[in-house]
């Protein structure tokens, strides 16, 4: 069996593995691109750690880069195994054997970064916004929202906007793309990737498509929500620019949190943003800013120059 085949089998036996490090998720977001996984074993030949990665080949360069629609990849270590420096060293050694021109991944946590720093990897930080402990009364959670968001949600409800669950990923992709086009933007997700990801998540009961609809039946906003065993992720929010002030997007956030509660999840992750205006929007729902690391090493001067110019 190849590493990928063993990884797929291993993930099927370990549902506790976080969403973005699950093999099925990696298969979906990679699309037609090449991907693989590094496996670390103990003396009994059991998998105790792994690192999935997306391979990008362009202009003669060989790179491992962060896939779209994934907050993080990074190493995963079995919970009954101490996350020690030896395992990190083994993972780094396997990464070095790939002879990459550029390695860049977002890791799920900042634990044991020193071995990477010692090997010349640069550490920077990204931000997401998380509502912790959502297993509280809806009233308690709602009270943490800003006055502006409470007003938006109540206005949407007062105007007869309702939230329904949909099941056609192709329709969701079309609505997503058309709303971006309204604002002069392009959907960076390939249709087969976004549609396949939504379909697979729903099939596995790890995702849902939510729609905010007005009294005429018009869709004002939509949301792809995905989750693992602990956390719901605000994956792809979409809104009709002409209906931006309707409160539909805020209502979708509220219903997403309530759905996560029903699923028995403990956290709601807004997926973060490096844009201050979006970050401020997420904070209005009582979320807390949380850091996670970006790990990077560039081994070719032309890529360093390109990044500097960019």
- Given this chain, do its domains 3-126+292-309 and 134-265 carry the same CATH topology? yes
Q: Which fold has domain 134-265?
A: Aminopeptidase (3.40.630)
pLDDT at res. 83: 65
Spans of all domains in the chain: 3-126+292-309, 134-265
The verdict on pTM exceeding 0.85 is: yes
**Could you read off the pLDDT of 175-217 as tens digits, one per residue?**
999 999 999 999 999 999 999 999 999 999 999 999 999 999 9
Angle at 225 between CA 149 and CA 139, to 5 degrees: 40
Q: Which fold has domain 3-126+292-309?
A: Aminopeptidase (3.40.630)
pLDDT at res. 84: 79
Inform me whether the pLDDT recorded for 82 exceeds 70: no
**Could you read off the pLDDT of 253-298 as tens digits, one per residue?**
999 999 999 999 999 999 877 778 889 999 999 999 999 999 999 9
């Amino acid at each position: 069996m190849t590493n990928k085949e063993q990884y797929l089998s291993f993930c099927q036996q370990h549902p506790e593995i976080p969403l973005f490090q699950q093999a099925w998720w990696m298969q979906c977001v990679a699309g037609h691109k090449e991907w693989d996984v590094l496996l670390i074993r103990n003396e009994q030949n059991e998998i105790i750690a792994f690192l999935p990665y997306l391979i990008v080949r362009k202009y003669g360069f060989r790179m491992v880069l962060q896939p779209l629609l994934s907050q993080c990849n990074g190493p995963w270590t079995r919970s009954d195994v101490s996350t020690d420096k030896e395992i990190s060293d083994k993972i780094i050694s396997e990464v070095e054997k790939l002879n990459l021109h550029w390695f860049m991944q977002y890791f799920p946590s900042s634990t044991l970064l020193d071995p990477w720093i010692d090997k010349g990897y640069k550490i920077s930080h990204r931000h997401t916004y998380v509502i912790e402990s959502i297993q509280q009364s809806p009233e308690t959670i709602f009270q943490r929202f800003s006055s502006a968001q409470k007003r938006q949600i109540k206005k949407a409800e007062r105007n007869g906007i309702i939230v329904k669950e949909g099941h056609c990923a192709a329709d969701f992709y079309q609505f997503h793309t058309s709303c971006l086009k309204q604002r002069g933007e392009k959907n960076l997700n390939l249709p087969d990737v976004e549609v396949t990801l939504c379909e697979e998540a729903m099939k596995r009961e790890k995702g849902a498509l939510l729609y905010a609809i007005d009294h005429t039946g018009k869709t004002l906003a939509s949301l792809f929500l995905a989750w693992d065993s602990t956390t719901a992720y605000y994956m792809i929010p979409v809104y009709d620019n002409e209906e931006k002030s309707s409160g539909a997007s805020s209502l979708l956030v509220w219903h997403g949190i309530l759905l996560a509660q029903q699923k028995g999840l403990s956290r709601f992750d807004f997926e973060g943003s490096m844009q201050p205006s979006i970050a401020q929007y997420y904070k209005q729902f009582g979320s807390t800013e949380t850091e996670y690391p970006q790990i990077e090493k560039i081994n070719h001067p032309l890529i360093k120059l390109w990044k500097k110019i960019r």
